[in-house]
Amino acid sequence: MSENKVLLSVRNLDVNFRIKRSGGIFFNKYNTLKAVKNVNFDLHVGETLGIVGESGCGKSTLSRAIVGLVEGKGSVKFLGDELIGLSNHARRKYKKDIQMIFQDPSASLNPRITVGELIAEPLKIHYPHMKKQEIRAEVLATMKKVGLLPNMINRYPHEFSGGQAQRIGIARALITRPKIIICDEPVSALDVSIQAQVVNLLKDLQREYGISLIFIAHDLSVVRHISDRVLVMYLGSVFELSSSKEIFENTKHPYTRALMSAVPIPDPHLERNKKIEFLDGDLPSPINPPSGCVFRTRCKYATDKCATTPPTLENTNPEGVPHFVACYNLIDVKNV
């Protein structure tokens, strides 16, 4: 990983949705759902950034804002070029460099065209002057890279297992040789044994092509295996960001501690005796979030200050590996 070369820079990124209120035709008013709030991070060349958090915390919306599938406000720069505010036509030249793999491979593949056509489609869009023979050769080479046999090229998506279908999705993302691949929970719909194969495949491809990955997942053990750094989100905000080692061995935010305590430990003795950090209540509504720190209603360490002033993301380790945390009560929970 190149620590100095920033490939993607995200600053003050917000994503809001207008939700129509109930009340009939005479009350045509809307609420604002703040799905992503003031998110900041950099992605370096060859790095894997893991993004974790509960369902509804904004992980997928963040990824879609980066690739332009939803409208965001703030700044998303790719190699210094601003992407926010670009038209679809202007953004097209960047799409071959920022590709995406989706959670459900079967739902993300057009069932009416063959695997060969699916994988070739990005090439035809971004390189319209490529000859058919060149496209076919590139498709076959990419299929081989992801573990698909050449005789599968004329089959249809429904003829493949979930793991094979996800390999098709990976081939489709890889075919343009992108600099970034955003993986939106790419293994959550797969069996555990297949998950490991897909994760190892992504790591192999990353090493070979120098690709940077944004890896979104619920399973923290998978994130730990693949990520160089980890970003923790809650209700649209970033709560903690550091190296994978720091996040898993020196967890500082109470929310991250709760997520970590839910990860199964392979040792039965340690699993039986580990301390689980339980969270109170359910995830608050993003339409009507709590005042101050949005986590305070579920945090046993919350104080009066938490109810009035949202904490900002601060580097708590300026002398060593950067460890950003948004919390007022780190001293209280550090050694708990």
Q: Name 90's Cβ contacts closer than 8 Å, sequence gap at least 6.
A: none
Cβ–Cβ under 8 Å, residues 187 and 199: yes
Mean pLDDT, the chain cut into blocks of 10 residues (336 residues total): 79 92 64 92 97 92 94 96 92 93 83 94 93 96 96 93 92 96 89 88 95 92 92 96 93 90 63 66 86 92 91 92 90 45
Cβ–Cβ under 8 Å, residues 178 and 96: yes
> Residues in the chain, how many?
336
Tell me if 134 is assigned to some domain: no
Tell me if 227 is assigned to some domain: yes
pLDDT of residue 334: 45
Tell me if 44 is assigned to some domain: yes
Tell me if 75 is assigned to some domain: yes
pLDDT of residue 300: 86
Cβ–Cβ under 8 Å, residues 200 and 190: no
Count of beta carbons in the 10 Å neighbourhood of residue 62: 28
User: What CATH code is carried by the domain that includes residue 93?
Assistant: 3.40.50.300
The domain tally of the chain equals 1
Q: How far apart are CA 36 and CA 233, in angstroms?
A: 9
Is residue 9 packed enough to be buried (19+ CB in 10 Å), middle (13-18) or exposed (0-12)?
middle
Q: Maximum Cα–Cα distance for the chain, whole Å?
A: 68
The pTM of this model reads 0.90
Tell me if 56 is assigned to some domain: yes
pLDDT of residue 21: 72
Cβ–Cβ under 8 Å, residues 148 and 166: no
pLDDT of residue 264: 63
Structural domain including 36 reads: 6-97+178-249
pLDDT of residue 272: 61
Query: Strands of 229-234's sheet, edge to edge?
Result: 98-101, 180-184, 212-216, 48-52, 229-234, 237-243, 324-325, 314-315
Tell me if 187 is assigned to some domain: yes
